[in-house]
Amino acid sequence: MLTANNPFTGEKIAEYESLDAEQVSARIGQASEAFATWRHTSFAERAKVLTAVAAELRKRKSTIAQYMADEMGKPVREGEPEVEKAAWCAEYYAEHAEEYLTSESLPSDASHSYVCYQPLGTLLGILPWNAPLWLAFRYLAPALMAGNTCVMKHDPNVPASAQSIADAFVAAGAPENIMVNLPVETSLVEKAIRDPRIAAVSFTGSAGAGSKVAAVAGSEIKPCVLELGGSDPCIVLADADLEAAADVAVLSRIINAGQSCIAAKRILVEESAMDKFVPMLKSRLQALKMGDPKDEQTQVGPIARRDLQLNLHRQVSETVEAGAKCLLGGELPDSAGYFYPVTLLTEVTAQMTAFREETFGPVMAVTSVSGIEEAIELANDSDYGLGAAIWTADVKQAEQWAQQIDAGQVAINGIVKTDPRLPSGGIKRSGFGRELGPHGIKEFVNAKQIWVK
- The dihedrals phi and psi of 338, each to the nearest 5 degrees, come to -115, 45
Whether 227 sits among the annotated catalytic residues: the reply is yes
Q: Annotated catalytic residue: which of 91, 227, 270, 358?
A: 227
Query: What CATH number does the domain containing 369 carry?
Result: 3.40.309.10
Residues 143 and 205 in one domain: yes
Mean pLDDT for the chain?
97
Within-domain flag for 296: yes
Q: What mean pLDDT is predicted for residues 350-371?
A: 98
Q: What mean pLDDT is predicted for residues 379-394?
A: 98
Residues 266 and 148 in one domain: no
Per-residue pLDDT tens for 256-305?
999 999 999 999 999 999 999 999 999 999 999 999 999 999 999 999 99
Residues 6 and 31 in one domain: yes
Within-domain flag for 42: yes
Residues 306 and 219 in one domain: no
* Long-range pairs, 19-27, Cβ under 8 A, ≥24: 19/182, 19/183, 19/184, 19/188, 20/188, 21/188, 21/191, 24/182, 24/184, 24/188, 24/191, 24/192, 24/195, 25/195, 27/151, 27/180, 27/181, 27/182
Residues 147 and 160 in one domain: yes
At 230, is the pLDDT very low, low, confident or very high (cuts 50, 70, 90)? very high
Within-domain flag for 425: no
Residues 38 and 141 in one domain: yes
Per-residue pLDDT tens for 177-204?
999 999 999 999 999 999 999 999 999 9
Residues 267 and 352 in one domain: yes
Say how many C-beta atoms besides its own lie within 10 A of residue 120's C-beta: 20
Within-domain flag for 129: yes
At 111, is the pLDDT very low, low, confident or very high (cuts 50, 70, 90)? very high
Within-domain flag for 269: yes
Residues 259 and 193 in one domain: no
Whether pLDDT at 151 is above 90: yes
Residues 199 and 255 in one domain: no
Q: What mean pLDDT is predicted for residues 113-124?
A: 98
Contact 94, 47 (CB under 8 A): yes
Q: Annotated catalytic residue: which of 261, 270, 358, 443?
A: 261
At 335, is the pLDDT very low, low, confident or very high (cuts 50, 70, 90)? confident
Q: Torsion angle of alpha carbons 400, 405, 407, 410, nearest 10°?
A: -40
Q: What mean pLDDT is predicted for residues 239-245?
A: 98
Q: What mean pLDDT is predicted for residues 152-156?
A: 97
Q: What mean pLDDT is predicted for residues 21-36?
A: 98
Residues 207 and 271 in one domain: no
Query: What CATH number does the domain containing 114 carry?
Result: 3.40.605.10
Within-domain flag for 374: yes
At 81, is the pLDDT very low, low, confident or very high (cuts 50, 70, 90)? very high
Could you tell me the residue range of the domain that residue 313 belongs to?
A: 232-420
Residues 190 and 56 in one domain: yes
* The total number of structural domains that make up the chain: 2
Residue 165 half-sphere exposure toward CB, CA atoms < 13 A:
35
> Against a cut of 0.85, is the pTM above it?
yes
**Adjacent-strand bridge partners of 226:** 203, 432
Within-domain flag for 318: yes
pLDDT of residue 348: 98
Whether pLDDT at 1 is above 90: no
Per-residue pLDDT tens for 400-446?
999 999 999 999 999 999 999 999 999 999 999 999 999 999 999 99
Residues 250 and 178 in one domain: no
| CA distance linking residue 334 with residue 66, whole number of Å | 26
Query: Between the CA of residue 123 and those of 86, 146, 191, 282, 422, what are the distances in Å?
Result: 19, 11, 14, 45, 22
